[in-house]
Amino acid sequence: MLSKLENVLNDAELDLAKVNDLNALVQLKANYLGKKGVLASVMSNMRDLTVEQRKEIGMRTNVIKNSLEEKFEAKKNQIEEAIINQKLQNETIDVTLPGVDFSIGGIHPLNQTIMELEDLYIGMGYTVAEGPEIETDENCFEKLNLPKGHPARDMQDTFYINPELLLRSQTSPVQVRTMMENDGKPIKIICPGKVYRRDADDATHSHQFMQCEGLVLGKNITMADLKGALLEMAQKMFDKDRQIRLRPSFFPFTEPSVEVDVSCGMCGGKGCSTCKGTGWIEVLGAGMVNDNVLRMSGYDPAEIQGYAFGIGVERITMLKHRIDDIRNFYTNDVRFLNQFKEVK
């Protein structure tokens, strides 16, 4: 019987050497040390032994059982360690490799244009003024020399909330608010922001777009000052060789009023399909602030003069980057927007 016990130990050691899987190890342990295992089967014959033989066999059996328990535990630890090492090897990261370049967003082209305009005019001594997008009819029209029933109101197809409140159709109400708050003192501001008009959306029109208006009030302000400010803007936003021209026009809130053209960058002013052969492209409207507008906001036209201008942010951006459809700014097509990530 002792020889059978030794054979069990030897066989178990040989089988253990072949096992490299935890599930197989569990099954092997059950085969040798389980209630119906090989060791239990040998021990079932002890009833036929004498007392002395039982004592000797029992002691040896315990030794073998404890030895096998230790060997199975050691093998389990060995397999688990091998599994962990393999997993670590598979998941090893080479920290010397370059990192992943995650794609990040950029500044929207319209916001880029506004930032450029703000940098330009702040450098010229202007401050940035803001106001609400829901405005009163008084600030949006009446104080800008457009009383109720005035025929020029047909130029402004407006979103009315009620007879007295509307979505502003221009950023000029910000100028009105600033004049009302300054008690006749000089002003030098730009007013960037969203405006709303009941235009049908197409390649050049949108029901919601952006403006950047400017207002300068002080003593002895002339059209020459206006032209200088606009020429600086054109050469900053396009290139240093651009020129501008002023054409007479009409706006109820300025007198005299002008349309401002910039020389065509495609042909250098010689005439091409972009400028329709004229060499010039219309970019904005401007003029000297109407005396009535000054009086309604608490200014004396005999003492204070000034000019105002209104820049269409989308128009400037389209001309600068040669974009042919205003809807590209609002459709959130990443392929379009990614082109402007590096544009400063």
Same domain, 232 and 133: yes
pLDDT, tens digit, 9 for 90 and up, residues 295-331: 999 999 999 999 999 999 999 999 999 898 999 999 9
Cis peptide before 147 (omega within 30 of 0): no
Mean pLDDT of 66-83: 88
pLDDT, tens digit, 9 for 90 and up, residues 265-302: 878 778 887 788 889 989 999 999 999 999 999 999 99
Domain boundary among 56, 90, 124: 90
Same domain, 135 and 70: no
**Whole-prediction pTM:** 0.68
Mean pLDDT of 226-249: 93
Is there a domain that residue 328 lies in? yes
Is there a domain that residue 188 lies in? yes
Q: How far is it, in rounded angstroms, from Cα 344 to Cα 107?
A: 9
Would you say how long the chain is, in residues? 344
Mean pLDDT computed over every residue of the chain: 88
Same domain, 220 and 272: yes
Phi, psi of 244 (to 5 degrees): -125, 160
Is there a domain that residue 96 lies in? no
Same domain, 84 and 116: no
Q: How confident is the model at residue 46 (pLDDT cuts 50, 70, 90)?
A: low
Share of the chain above pLDDT 90, in %: 50
Is there a domain that residue 174 lies in? yes
Same domain, 222 and 127: yes
Same domain, 305 and 191: yes
Domain boundary among 39, 62, 90: 90
The total domain count for the chain is: 2
First to last CA, the chain: 92
Domain that residue 57 falls in: 2-90
CB atoms within 10 A of CB 315: 19
Diameter of the chain by CA atoms?
A: 136
Is there a domain that residue 235 lies in? yes
> DSSP string spanning 201-223?
PSSS--SEEEEEEEEEEETT--H
Is there a domain that residue 104 lies in? no
pLDDT, tens digit, 9 for 90 and up, residues 76-117: 898 989 889 888 888 887 788 887 777 777 899 999 999 999
CATH of the domain at 187: 3.30.930.10
Same domain, 115 and 79: no
Same domain, 129 and 175: yes
Domain boundary among 90, 123, 153: 90
Same domain, 139 and 172: yes
Which residues have a Cβ under 8 Å from the Cβ of 57 and sit 6 or more positions away?
Answer: 1, 2, 5, 43, 46, 49
Is there a domain that residue 101 lies in? no
Same domain, 53 and 178: no
Same domain, 114 and 178: yes
Same domain, 74 and 151: no
Is there a domain that residue 127 lies in? yes
